[in-house]
Structure 1
C-alpha cells in the first residue's frame, strides 16, 4: 500500500474505520479521530464517499459505546482481569472515570465523547449506574452521529479549504479537533469540580488469574 497515494487510502479507509473506532471505545489512545478525519479529507478530494464514511464512523461509535455500557451494566468487567492486558485496560477505565467524574445524565452521554477519555468514562459509569438501556442507546446514537459529523466535517472542511494533499488536511483537522477537545475538557473539568466516586470501587490491585 502506498501511504501517500489517495487512491490506496480511498479503498482502505472503509476497512479501518469500524475496528479503530470500536477499539477507541475501550482504549482511548487508539487514533480513531485521525482515521475518521482522514476519511473526511479523502472525501473532499473525491477519493471516498462522504456519506459512507459518516455512517461507518457513527455506527462504530455507537456500537463501541454499547459494548462498554453492557460490559459494566452486566458486571462482567471482571472478565478483563483474566489477562495482563485486560487488567491494564480495566485500570485505565477506572482512571478515566475518576478523571472525568461520574455522570449518568443523558446530556453527558451525548456530549462527553467530545473531551479526552469522556466517551469511555461516561459509557462505563452509565452501565455501573444502571441507566436504562433504551435511554443510553438513544443518547449514544445521537452522540455518535454528532461526533461523526464533527470529525468527518473537520477533515472535509480542511481538505476543501486548503486544497492540500489529503494527509496534510488530515493533520490540520486532527490538530484543530485536539485543540478544541482539550479546551472543552479543561472547561468541563473545572465546572465539574472533584470527581465523584463510582459504585464499582477499584484500588488498582486487580486479582491475578489462576
Structure 2
C-alpha cells in the first residue's frame, strides 16, 4: 500500500495527495496515516510545499466528507424510524433516544464534528450523523474543515520531521485506532447487554 501511495504522490503531486485523501475518506481502508506522512516527507525533501500539501490533503478529505454528508442528509433520520423501532434491540437504540440525540446534536454538534475529525477510526464516520440529523451545511463545513486541517497538518508534520521513519507514524496511529475500535465494540456489547436486561425487567 505505501509503495503505491509513494509512487502516486511522486507522479501526481498535490493532485495525487488530494485524490488519495478523497479515497481515504470514502473508502477508509486506504490510510491517511500513510498518505499525509509521505507527502510531508516529500515537503521535507523540497519536492513539495508544506502548506500546499496540507491544503491539498484537506481539500481532498473534505470532498469525501461532503459526499458522505449529502448522502446521509438525503436519507434523513426519519426514514430510519421503522428500522429503529423494529431492530432497536440490536442497535441498542430506541426512537426516544434518537430524538434526544437530535436535541443534543443541535447544542453540541459543532464540537462533535470538530473533535471527531481528529480521532482515528471515528473521523470518517462523523459526516453520517451530521447529515442524518440535518446539521446546517455551513456549520458542518466549518467544523469539518478545521478538524480535517488539524489532522492532515499533524500527519504531514510528523512525516516532515521523521522523514524515512514515517512508518512509525502508522504504528502509533494504528495502535490508537485499534484502541478506539476496541472501546467502540466493548461499548456496543455493554449497551446490548444492558438493553436486554431493561427489556427483561419490563
TM-score, scaled relative to structure 2: 0.66
Q: Which structure has the greater CA radius of gyration? A: 2
Q: Deviations over 1:58-95 (max 9, x none)?
A: 1112221111101110229xxxxxxxxxxxxxxxxxxx
Compared CA separation, residues 73 and 175, structure 1 to 2 (3 A): same
Say whether 1:141 aligns with 2:151.
no
Say which of 104, 108, 111 aligns to 1:107.
Answer: 111
Say whether 1:118 aligns with 2:114.
no
Whole-angstrom CA distance in 2 between matches of 1:72 and 1:7: 34
How far residue 132 of structure 1 moved from its aligned partner, in angstroms, is 1.3
- SS of residue in 2 equivalent to 1:118: coil
Q: Deviations over 1:24-43 (max 9, x none)?
A: 22221022331111001121
- 1:75 maps to which residue? 75
- 1:180 maps to which residue? 176
Whole-angstrom CA distance in 2 between matches of 1:136 and 1:7: 33
Compared CA separation, residues 142 and 185, structure 1 to 2 (3 A): farther
Q: Is the 8 A contact 1:114 1:181 kept in 2?
A: no
How far residue 55 of structure 1 moved from its aligned partner, in angstroms, is 0.7
TM alignment of 1:23-172, pairs within 5 A: 23-75=23-75, 104=105, 105-159=109-163, 168-172=164-168
Compared CA separation, residues 153 and 188, structure 1 to 2 (3 A): farther
TM-score, scaled relative to structure 1: 0.63
The unaligned stretches of length 5 or more in structure 2 are 77-90, 92-100, 193-202
- 2:12 maps to which residue? 12
Q: Is the 8 A contact 2:118 2:148 kept in 1?
A: no
Aligned residues: 162
Greater helix share, 1 or 2? Answer: 2
The unaligned stretches of length 5 or more in structure 1 are 77-97, 160-167, 196-210
Whole-angstrom CA distance in 2 between matches of 1:110 and 1:55: 17
Compared CA separation, residues 8 and 147, structure 1 to 2 (3 A): closer
